[in-house]
Amino acid sequence: VNETGLDGWLRYAALPDEFASLRPQYSAIISLTDSQSSPIFTAARELQLGLSKILSQNISLETKDGYCLVCKNGRAAEIIGQNDRGALYGAFEFLRLLSQNQPLPEMRISNPSAPIRWVNQWDNLDGTIERGYAGPSIFFADGHVLDDLTRVQQYARLLASVGLNGLIVNNVNSNYNLLNPFNMQGLARIADIMRPWGVRIGISLYFDTPKELGGLQTSDPLDRNVIAWWEDITSELYRHVPDMLGYLIKANSEGQPGPLTYGRTLADGANMFARALQPHGDGVVMYRAFVYNHHLDESNWKNDRANAAVEYFDGLDTQFEDNVIIQIKYGPIDFQIREPPSPLLAHLRKTPIILELQVTQEYLGQQDHIVYLPPLWKTIFDFDLHVDGQKSLVRDVVSGQRFNWSRSGYAAVVNVGNDPTWLGSHLAMANLYAYGLCAWDPQQSEVDIIQGWAQLTFGLNKAVVDTITNISMASWPTYENYSGNLGIQTLCDIVTHCHYGPSPAAQDGNGWGQWTRADARSIGMDRTVATGTGNSGQYPQKVADRFECIDTTPDELLLWFHHVPYTHRLKSGKTVIQHFYDAHYAGALVAQTFAQQWEILRGLIDDNRFDHMAFRLQYQAGHALVWRDSVNNFYYAKCGIRDELNRVGNH
């Protein structure tokens, strides 16, 4: 009760129960804008306050990006957004339907699956891009933000057209010089350019910035001076970017400093940033779960990098501030060709999550090979984690529905560069388009998505659309066939860190923990509880039981969870080694057909884009043969078991 008088007549005194109980129970307040300086947002906040006091109803305040299209015959089309961004998304949807020559809907309401639909750039201040395969950065050069941000504006338009509403502008391996005064002005310019497209920006931080840039003795997250230093920097950032999304933090990972460096918990570290953000609006800390020891001892069969996320984060669920979100890569290792979902997805109930995907094809051919990603993503989205014995599809956890989170969703690493193709390959752009559509609705058919993208990108000719659809839909299984089977991971070069090209020997004999444990007799990681690393036991019971046992583990994840002889028979009836040989031949063969199929499109699309892709697909055809022979010969040399069809080792 406000008896000070400051509230004047706006006391919102509680209605007596007999009156209040006759009023409806409201479920949510939807603000038609999330701009905090708008009177509409003020109205929503005032309603929230008033309803809590007058009716004792604590109601969440939400802004929704959905839209409604009404296109009744002969009448003007109406595009109605639930907020400013919703109107923009509705306009893009209207234009998409026109371009695809589809009927306009009499009435269509569309809402995103999750509020967070962001991209992560891995751009460095010097203009290079970590895992970027399409030229230098469109954001930075020579230590500062570029003067000419034309490409950034064009990028924001692309992101908005598929419903993406946020972007983290710099690499997770962050450089503290981003926070110098000159660069803060640059960040303001980036934010200003992206804002009209409904794309808000956030930044990645380097944990030791107080020491390195601020000249403090320490970066200990519980140190008073460190806390004050981050508070000041945060205020300064908000002066430049008033609607900043918040901070992405990679800490205690791959040699980066973090709270553990100072004997503090991961929650201590995350909460320090969270509290610095709180006075300024709705900013969040995206704290990455990619924390692991990259000097693991392979001689210990209990060691397992796949266990790290749960080991580090278990027990912390209730300890994070409300504006901390844990960002989790889809699999327990690192963007491999096939992984089960990260077990950490089943461990957090109170703390919301962001699911981290990669549009950048880091381990997947780096845009030199075509790999259309939605079929891979679907294996994660549709996976039932059975948390607490209840249906718990990953997509329902991520949307916030399963555990009642109001802020959760998706992030994808998207390393566009200043190449005119953006990602280095025209067909690779289907993955960026698809990412936006999947984050909006993870249940959309991957075939519909690629067909729609092909129409928008190359026109309505059926031969063109069918060819692109066929190549794309075959591309992921094809790449898996020649780059890493049965859950063994992508067998690319990890020793030189290029993550490209075949190098099955590189997986083992180092501390990175992407091991295959291949010897003369047997192969695979024993991740069982009974005899292995115990990783299967990190999943809820029903899932754990399935992965613990060889018979119930699907063939495609067999070597992820089990160490077996090369002569072990799969459910298909083949031995593991014969499957390897056959899959590599099958995959390389299909890769040869991509270039041939593309040839049909000569003259049906412009020469420029035709030639560009023809060259790439021919390259892929050749490189697939290199993959096939390198991997097959490697395992043949290891185990000496002949190929039943006598192909391997006969060159």
Taking the least distance from each CB to ligand GCU, the nearer of 130 and 466 is 130
Ordered DSSP codes for 86-153:
HHHHHHHHHHHHHHTTPPPPSEEEE--S-SEEEEE--B-TTS-BTT--SSS-SSEETTEE-S--HHHH
606: number of Cβ within 10 Å:
11
CB of 202 within 8 A of CB of 280?
Answer: no
CB of 475 to ligand GCU, least distance (A): 22
CB of 320 within 8 A of CB of 352?
Answer: no
Taking the least distance from each CB to ligand GCU, the nearer of 34 and 339 is 339
> Does 290 help bind ligand GCU (rule: CB under 6 A)?
yes
Q: What residue is closest to ligand GCU based on CB?
A: 172
Q: For residues 575-634, which are near ligand GCU according to CB under 6 A?
A: none
**Helix-helix angle 576-599:607-639, to 10 degrees:** 170
Nearest to 401 by CA among 31, 113, 58: 113
CB of 172 to ligand GCU, least distance (A): 5
State the Cα–Cα distance between residues 273 and 434, nearest whole angstrom.
32
CB of 294 to ligand GCU, least distance (A): 9
Nearest to 289 by CA among 133, 132, 411, 414: 411
Taking the least distance from each CB to ligand GCU, the nearer of 333 and 558 is 333
Residue 218 in 3-state DSSP? coil
| Helix (DSSP H) and strand (DSSP E) numbers for the chain | 18, 17
Secondary element (H or E) of residue 479 = helix 462-483
CB of 261 within 8 A of CB of 252?
Answer: yes
> Does 153 help bind ligand GCU (rule: CB under 6 A)?
no
Q: For residues 361-390, which are near ligand GCU according to CB under 6 A?
A: 362
State the Cα–Cα distance between residues 577 and 85, nearest whole angstrom.
52
CB of 228 to ligand GCU, least distance (A): 29
Taking the least distance from each CB to ligand GCU, the nearer of 363 and 566 is 363
Q: Indicate which single residue of 162, 172, 194, 583 sits in contact with ligand GCU (rule: CB under 6 A).
A: 172
State the Cα–Cα distance between residues 529 and 526, nearest whole angstrom.
9
Catalytic residue numbers, as ranges = 254, 334, 362
Count the site residues for ligand GCU by CB under 6 A: 9
CB of 202 within 8 A of CB of 168?
Answer: yes
State the Cα–Cα distance between residues 462 and 133, nearest whole angstrom.
31
> Does 131 help bind ligand GCU (rule: CB under 6 A)?
yes
Taking the least distance from each CB to ligand GCU, the nearer of 112 and 341 is 341
Taking the least distance from each CB to ligand GCU, the nearer of 173 and 592 is 173
> Does 173 help bind ligand GCU (rule: CB under 6 A)?
yes
CB of 248 to ligand GCU, least distance (A): 10
Burial call 289-321: b when 16+ CB within 10 Å, e when fewer: bbbbbeebeeeeeebbbbbbbbebbeebeeebb
Site string for ligand GCU, 20-59 (x = CB under 6 A): ----------------------------------------
> Does 414 help bind ligand GCU (rule: CB under 6 A)?
no
CB of 205 to ligand GCU, least distance (A): 14
Radius of gyration of the chain (CA): 26
State the Cα–Cα distance between residues 279 and 234, nearest whole angstrom.
10
Secondary element (H or E) of residue 167 = strand 166-168
State the Cα–Cα distance between residues 189 and 382, nearest whole angstrom.
39
Q: Indicate which single residue of 84, 130, 384, 441 sits in contact with ligand GCU (rule: CB under 6 A).
A: 130
State the Cα–Cα distance between residues 650 and 183, nearest whole angstrom.
59
CA 211 to chain centre: 31
State the Cα–Cα distance between residues 340 and 332, nearest whole angstrom.
7
Sign of the torsion angle spanned by Cα atoms 622, 624, 628, 630: positive
CB of 334 to ligand GCU, least distance (A): 5
Taking the least distance from each CB to ligand GCU, the nearer of 290 and 515 is 290
Residue 492 in 3-state DSSP? strand
CB of 392 to ligand GCU, least distance (A): 25
Secondary element (H or E) of residue 522 = strand 522-523
Taking the least distance from each CB to ligand GCU, the nearer of 158 and 248 is 248
Taking the least distance from each CB to ligand GCU, the nearer of 304 and 643 is 304
CB of 603 to ligand GCU, least distance (A): 40
State the Cα–Cα distance between residues 285 and 274, nearest whole angstrom.
6
Q: For residues 246-275, which are near ligand GCU according to CB under 6 A?
A: 250
Taking the least distance from each CB to ligand GCU, the nearer of 252 and 478 is 252
> Does 493 help bind ligand GCU (rule: CB under 6 A)?
no
CB of 544 to ligand GCU, least distance (A): 26
Q: For residues 323-362, which are near ligand GCU according to CB under 6 A?
A: 334, 362
Site of interaction with ligand GCU (CB under 6 A) = 130-131, 172-173, 250, 290, 334, 362, 499
